[in-house]
Every structure is written in C-alpha cells, then in structure tokens.
Amino acid sequence: MASLLSIIQRIRTTVYPPQPAKKDDAIRFGLLGASDIAPMAVINPAQSNPEVVIAAVAARDEVRARKYAKKYGIPIVHKGYEELVNDPSITAIYIPLPNGLHYEWALKSLQKGKHVLLEKPSVSNSTQASALFLHPPVPSNITPRPVLLEAFHVRFHPAFQRFLGLLDSDNIERASVTLNCPKYVFRPDNIRLQSKLAGGALMDMGTYGVMALRCVFGKESVECVDVKPRYVPKGKGHDEGCEEAMEVKWRWEGGAVGNLDVDLRRGVRGFGGWLGWIPWVSTPCVKVRHREVLLPSSEDEGLEHVLVKTVTLWNMLGPSFWHSIEILNQHTIQEAGSKKVVKTWMEKEIVKSYTWKEGDGTKGEEWWTTYRYQLEAFADRVKGRESVVWLDGDDSVRQMEMIDGAYGKAGLPVRPGDV
C-alpha cells in the first residue's frame, strides 16, 4: 500500500512539478518537429529546471507547429527546421526526428554553434557516428565546442547506475535483455519500422538493449554469434525488409554471453497472457547471472559451498515510476568430488534507487524521471560543470558499431546514411 502511494505521489509530482523561476542565462532550447516524445523528454523536465527554457519549435507544417506551441506554451514558432537552427536566440537543439534524419540535423545544429541533445539511436550507422562524434566539421571559431549528447536517458537514472554497481563485470556468465512493445502500439507502417528512415527493432528499442549489455560488461563484445530477425508482415506501406523483432547473441571476452530479445510488435502469447500487455511494466528488464563462486564450506571438509549471484533490473526504461533491482543468491552445498547436491537455498534482496545517495550533495528528487536526470546532466555540461553521469561520443560510436555488426551477421545491410 505504502509503495502504491509513493508511485502515485511520484507520478503526480512528475506531471505537476515545482516550477522555479528561470535564470537569466538559462539554456534556450529549440525543438525540431512537433514530436510525440518531446513533452516527456524535454518539455516536462524543463519545467522544474531553472536553467532550461523551451523557447522554440519548428515543424514541416507551420500550422502543426503553431498548434503544438500553443498546447505546450512555446513562445517562438519557426517555419521549418532550417529557420530554427539559424535562430541566434537559441542555444540548444533537441532532435527527436526519425533516426535517418539525426545525422543531418545534428551536424547542421553543431555547425551553427548549438548544443545538441540527440535522440537515440544517435545516427543511422557507425560511419555516420564516427563522422559526427569524433570528427565533426565544426568551424574552429566556434568556441567553446558545442555539447553533443545521445539521449540515452536511462543511463542517467540512479537505479541504472546502482544496478551496474552491483555487478562484477569480469565474472559474468550471461546477461539477457528483454524489451517488448505490445502489438497494438506501433502499426507496421510506423517510422520505427522503415529501413530507409533507419528504423528497425534493433535501432529502436533494441538500441537500449545493446547499450545495457555494453554497460553490464563494461567493455565491447568480441563477436556477434547469432541473429534471428522477424520481418514486418506484408501490407500496404509496410517495409517487409525491416525487422520488427530481433534476437541477437553476442560473445564477450572469456566466453560470457549477452542476449537481446527485442520485439516492437509482440503478440499476447509472447507475453504469456493479457496482463503482460501492459507496456513498460511487464518486461523491460536486464538479467545478469554471474559465474559460480566457490566459498569455504563450514560444514564439512568434503563439501563445497557454491554461490551463484543473479541480479535483475526490472522496468529498465521507466524506473522513476517504479523499478526493482532483485539480487538472488543461489547457495548450494555439494560433495567436492561427485558434485552431488546436499543442500540448496536462495537468498533474495530487493534494492531501489530513486535518488543518488542520501546527503551526498548530488542533485535529484524521488520523482525525477530518467529524462529529468538527463536534462540536468546536459545543462551541467553546457554550463561547463561536471555531471554525475555522462556518455561521450566514443561511446555512441561503439554503440553503432555493435548494431552494424548485428545487421551484418543477419546478412542485412547497415541502415542507409551517408556522411
């Protein structure tokens, strides 16, 4: 009951956050597109951040942009993306366009000296990622260099960092990420399922899974071992060469395995029943099983005590509303020679983390969403301060390399996009 009340309280404060007065030197954001995600990703989080103002929006259709601006109280409307990027009153650009347009607009924004918060996946392929993150052709007179961040919001939440802190990366046997979206959420002609717009299950939700596996192991995989795509069904406007679901298996140094199971259109059966159709809560999870550890057995010299630790982060994508980090310690007492099991038992611990450690002076509130934490970090960096969590350009390049590798293993071309 208490926990249900805290969930309600957190959601309420997220929706109606405190709204401190804006600072005179607040970062002035412009939004490209009247997108679905901007309200959750930046418009709402900006309300409680005194250093961020959502100042402008542009859409391909000006009437649409005006409606959006009115709805969200955005003062400036531009006729198109180009006009917004050229607006000297804007300091940062948020890019939630179809993936295939990320590279072009991120580059144009950086070249105008704007800081960029770029939706995931950062770009279409690793060639574009290297060009954008490692060698951006930004005029040298633009100083300081603009900040560019791939919006992996989940990484900025304390729960994700706490989960990582519970792992022993060098002793993992297997890590598995499951990401599902019920079939009714995205139609097969959605932008997420168009290869020419750099869509696909792996590019969309799958990219979170790739990111999670890379963070869990703390290094890059050595090989993509197996890929099983399921393609978009036949139909008008459907891209039948694009995967709507994908199972991928990678190998890490030392033989550890990382599995990703992503499905943007999972049916009832795949969820194990109707209740599982509640998006977000049901399945997004990362499960990490460590290798066996041999402990000294206090019971008998001929016996050994084996421990296997499994750590699972439940609700990886929306941890601010609710999450659970489950630590399962499986103990086995077995005969040293024959390995015959004498006794086995399980210890379970649940950990939660909505803010950074109590009293360590780090900013954050129980109701801050992943996006709110992310915006704080972005503002910190724009203002030349350190942030609690950050993700640099090299990270975004490695991320795209791993995605390209999986497409290669499936015999599919990497998503199109020139530099």
Q: Closest distance between ligand NDP and the C-beta of residue 153, in Å?
A: 5
Q: Give the integer Cα–Cα distance in Å for 258 and 289.
A: 10
383 binds, among ligand LJPVP2WV, ligand NDP, none (CB under 5 to 8 A by kind): none
Q: Give the integer Cα–Cα distance in Å for 136 and 232.
A: 35
Q: Closest distance between ligand LJPVP2WV and the C-beta of residue 371, in Å?
A: 11
HSE-CB at 31 with a 13 A cutoff on CA atoms is: 30
Q: Closest distance between ligand LJPVP2WV and the C-beta of residue 151, in Å?
A: 9
Site map for ligand LJPVP2WV, 204-243, x if CB under 6 A?
xx--------------------------------------
- Check residue 181 for interaction with ligand LJPVP2WV (CB under 6 A): yes
Residue 43 DSSP class: I
Closer to ligand LJPVP2WV by CB, 17 or 199: give it. 199
Closer to ligand NDP by CB, 74 or 256: give it. 74
Site map for ligand NDP, 129-168, x if CB under 6 A?
----------------------x-x---------------
181 binds, among ligand LJPVP2WV, ligand NDP, none (CB under 5 to 8 A by kind): ligand LJPVP2WV
162 binds, among ligand LJPVP2WV, ligand NDP, none (CB under 5 to 8 A by kind): none
Q: Closest distance between ligand LJPVP2WV and the C-beta of residue 411, in Å?
A: 25
- Check residue 67 for interaction with ligand NDP (CB under 6 A): no
Closest CA to 375 of 13, 117, 119: 117
Q: Give the integer Cα–Cα distance in Å for 204 and 216.
A: 20
Which part of the chain contacts ligand NDP (CB under 6 A), choosing from 21-29, 47-55, 93-101, 257-265?
93-101
- Check residue 97 for interaction with ligand NDP (CB under 6 A): yes
The alpha carbon of 348 is separated from its chain's Cα centroid by a whole number of angstroms, namely 27
Tokens of 388: 């609690």
Identify residues 105-134 at the interface with ligand NDP (CB under 6 A): 119-120
* DSSP track, 82-97: HHHHT-TT--EEEE-S
- Check residue 85 for interaction with ligand NDP (CB under 6 A): no
36 binds, among ligand NDP, ligand LJPVP2WV, none (CB under 5 to 8 A by kind): ligand NDP
Closer to ligand LJPVP2WV by CB, 36 or 301: give it. 36
- Check residue 96 for interaction with ligand NDP (CB under 6 A): yes
Site map for ligand NDP, 332-361, x if CB under 6 A?
------------------------------
| Contact positions vs ligand LJPVP2WV (CB under 6 A) | 181, 192, 204-205
